[in-house]
Structure 1
Amino acid sequence: MIKSVAHAMIYVLNQDEALDFYKNKLGFEVGDDMKVEGGFRWLTVYPKTQSQLQLVLAEPKEGPLFTKDSAEKIRSLIEEGAFGAGVFETENCQKTYEELVAKGVEFIQPPTEQLYGVEAMGIDNSGNWFSLVQREK
C-alpha cells in the first residue's frame, strides 16, 4: 500500500538557475543534490516547514530518462510556459507577494479574492507558473 507522496517533478531549463530561484527567492531548503553516472543530477528542494514532500528540479536532457528528441520537446514546452510548479500556500498572500516581488519574482496576477481565498499567480525563472494561495478560513 502506498502511504505518501515523497517527491513531485518540476521541469526546469537550468538546474543551477532554478536552484538559485527556489532557494534564494522563494526561501526553499535544499533536500538532495547528487550527481550520478551519466551526468544525471538529482536535485530537490522543499519549503522550510514541509520536508516530507520535496520538489525535484529536473532538467530534461538526453540521458537515462529522455531521448534527445523528447528532451527537446519538453524544453520547448517549458519555454512556452506550458507547465505549472503547483500551488504554494501562505498565511498572508499580500505580504508574501510583496516580499517576493521585492526579490524579483515575476507575477502575472496580483493577490485576488477567489472563492477559496486569496490567490496570486507567479512564474519561476524557467517559465513555470505557480499559484500562491491564502486559503479562506
Structure 2
Amino acid sequence: MINKLGQIMLYVNNQDESLEFWTEKVGFIIVSEEDNGQGMRWIEIAPTKKAETSIVLHNKELIAKMQPELNLNTPSLMFYSDDLDKLYQDLSGKNITVGEIVNMPAGRVFNFADNENNYFAVMEKK
C-alpha cells in the first residue's frame, strides 16, 4: 500500500543552472548528489531537511537516450506556503517570472517559472 509520495523526477536541460535556480533563488537545499562516473548524475533537492517529498534533477537529454519511451515533460507541481505574500515578494525580487496572486476555492495561488521556463504553482496553506 502506498502511504506517501517520496520523489518527483524533474528532467532538465541544464542540471547546474536548475540547481542554482532551486537552491539560490527558491531556497531549497541539496539532500544528496550522486554521479555514477559514467555520465549519470542526479541531484536530490527539497524545501527543508524534514520534507517528506523531494525533487530529483535529472539530465533530460541523457534520460531520453537511455529510455526513449519515458515521458520527460515537466510535472504540474503545487507547492504550499504559509506566507504566500512574503514568498511572492521574495521571488519577484529575484527576477523570477511570477503570475498574479489569484483567489481559488481552495485558497490563494500564484505560479512561477523556473530557469527553463517551466511553470509551478504555490498555494497558501496556513
1:102 aligns with 2:93: yes
Identity of aligned residues (%): 25
103 and 34 in structure 1: CA distance in 2 versus 1, 3 angstrom threshold: same
Aligned equivalents of 1:24, 1:130: Cα separation in 2: 17
Aligned equivalents of 1:89, 1:95: Cα separation in 2: 13
Deviation of 1:55 after TM superposition, in Å, equals: 0.3
Q: Secondary structure at the match of 2:100?
A: strand
Count of matched residue positions in the alignment of Structure 1 and Structure 2: 125
- Name the counterpart of 1:130: 120
Conserved 8 A contact 1:106-1:122: yes
* Between 26-35 and 46-55, the greater mean CA deviation after superposition: 46-55
Amino acid at match of 1:121: N
Give 5+ residue unaligned stretches, structure 1. Answer: 75-81
Using the size of structure 1 for normalisation, the TM-score is 0.79
1:90 aligns with 2:81: yes
- Give 2:101's match in structure 1, choosing from 111, 118, 123: 111
What is the RMSD computed on CA atoms of the aligned residues?
Answer: 2.4
116 and 2 in structure 1: CA distance in 2 versus 1, 3 angstrom threshold: closer
Give 5+ residue unaligned stretches, structure 2. Answer: none
51 and 106 in structure 1: CA distance in 2 versus 1, 3 angstrom threshold: same
Using the size of structure 2 for normalisation, the TM-score is 0.85
Amino acid at match of 1:45: I
Aligned equivalents of 2:100, 2:86: Cα separation in 1: 11
Conserved 8 A contact 2:13-2:61: no
Deviation of 1:117 after TM superposition, in Å, equals: 0.5
Question: Which residues of 2 match residues 1-137 of structure 1 at below 5 A?
Answer: 1-48=1-48, 50-62=50-62, 65-67=63-65, 70=68, 74=72, 83-84=74-75, 86-107=77-98, 109-135=99-125
Deviation of 1:8 after TM superposition, in Å, equals: 0.8
Aligned equivalents of 1:97, 1:30: Cα separation in 2: 22
Conserved 8 A contact 2:42-2:59: no
